[in-house]
Amino acid sequence: MTSPVPIAEQRETLKPDPVAVPALSIDGVSHSYGPRRALMNVSFNVQPASFTALLGLNGAGKSTLFSLITRLFGIQSGRIGIFGHDISRSPGEALRLLGVVFQPRTLDLDLSLTQNLLYHAALHGIIRREAAARSAELLARIGLTERAGSKVRDLSGGQMRRLEIARALLHRPRLLLLDEPTVGLDVKARADIISHVRQLVTEQGIGVLWATHLFDEIMAGDDLVVLHQGKVLAQGSMSRVITEAGAQDVNTAFMRLTGAQVMPGGGA
């Protein structure tokens, strides 16, 4: 039954369809801080070129999950893969494909915008000339070219967030994580950032995991993961989650899902 197909071609056909490989796969991940269980058997995927909202209240375990994906904490049980690269076994390959915007600000306030970007580029091994070109391009994209030389300290909250997103894109990741990126921003800055990130999904095919507790940041076509007290209560397209919860909108769906799960005697 051996066909005379050349090896190269054979490998081509055996190669999994790139789309089938999730940008991010979380598989049975649990995490405890001593006796407190922060995550319980969490599993979900983020597809390339999709916007996945991780919806949960404060304390749901979103930040713990982000710390695990970015290797700030070691994985206690379960597996996390980025485009098929297990982050425990091949962290270098996995992290190359990952861009992150953390919830707390992580910029050097006393350095200039460009200096912050160049530092990040160096951490990814991008040579100076290339780094300078990419920095200029990204600063132009977020409309901060004229501020390139000023100190980050002098920027507004919204500008800092835009800079952090630009920084996260500098090494051209295929997966972007954002942990409540709009917290503390005004309406205009929030809208700017949301539309910027959505553009990245449609124009550049980046897979986005957007953690939030704000329902109005989620749109009809999004994928949704509802995380509550360390457990995934629902996942799938937004409309499916709403239908399955027997609700009319995300808000009600979320309340029904989480309300049903409140354990007697109180949870975390």
Question: If binding is defined by CB under 8 A, does position 150 make contact with another protein?
Answer: no
One-letter identity of residue 212: T
Q: Mention every residue, 6+ apart, whose C-beta is less than 8 A from residue 252.
A: 245
Question: If binding is defined by CB under 8 A, does position 30 make contact with another protein?
Answer: no
Helix (H, G, I), strand (E, B) or coil at 143: coil
> CB 267 → another protein: shortest distance, Å?
16
Over its C-alpha atoms, the chain yields an Rg (Å, rounded) of 20
What sign has the CA pseudo-torsion 77, 207, 257, 266?
positive
Question: If binding is defined by CB under 8 A, does position 40 make contact with another protein?
Answer: no
Question: If binding is defined by CB under 8 A, does position 228 make contact with another protein?
Answer: no
The residue with tokens 């929030």 is 190
Q: Which of 4, 7, 13, 33 binds another protein (CB under 8 A)?
A: 33
Which residue, 60 or 142, is less far from another protein as judged by CB?
60
What DSSP string describes 221-258?
A: T-EEEEEETTEEEEEEEHHHHHHHTT-SSHHHHHHHHH
Question: If binding is defined by CB under 8 A, does position 121 make contact with another protein?
Answer: yes
Pairing of strands 175-179, 207-212: parallel
Which residue, 6 or 34, is less far from another protein as judged by CB?
34
Question: If binding is defined by CB under 8 A, does position 205 make contact with another protein?
Answer: yes
Q: Which of 79, 96, 141, 256 binds another protein (CB under 8 A)?
A: 96
Question: If binding is defined by CB under 8 A, does position 90 make contact with another protein?
Answer: yes
Question: If binding is defined by CB under 8 A, does position 92 make contact with another protein?
Answer: yes
Supply φ then ψ for residue 6, to 5 degrees: -55, 150
Measured CA to CA, the distance from residue 229 to residue 206 in angstroms comes to 28
Question: If binding is defined by CB under 8 A, does position 223 make contact with another protein?
Answer: no
Residues 56-75 touching another protein, rule: CB under 8 A, are 58-59, 62-64, 67, 70-75
Which residue, 164 or 245, is less far from another protein as judged by CB?
164
> CB 165 → another protein: shortest distance, Å?
14
Measured CA to CA, the distance from residue 12 to residue 240 in angstroms comes to 35
Which residue, 91 or 252, is less far from another protein as judged by CB?
91
Supply φ then ψ for residue 265, to 5 degrees: 90, 0
Question: If binding is defined by CB under 8 A, does position 3 make contact with another protein?
Answer: no
Write down the H helix ranges in 32-156.
62-69, 91-96, 113-123, 128-141
Binding site for another protein (CB under 8 A): 16, 18-19, 21, 33-34, 38, 48-49, 58-59, 62-64, 67, 70-76, 83-85, 88, 90-98, 100, 102-108, 110-111, 115, 118-128, 174, 180, 204-205
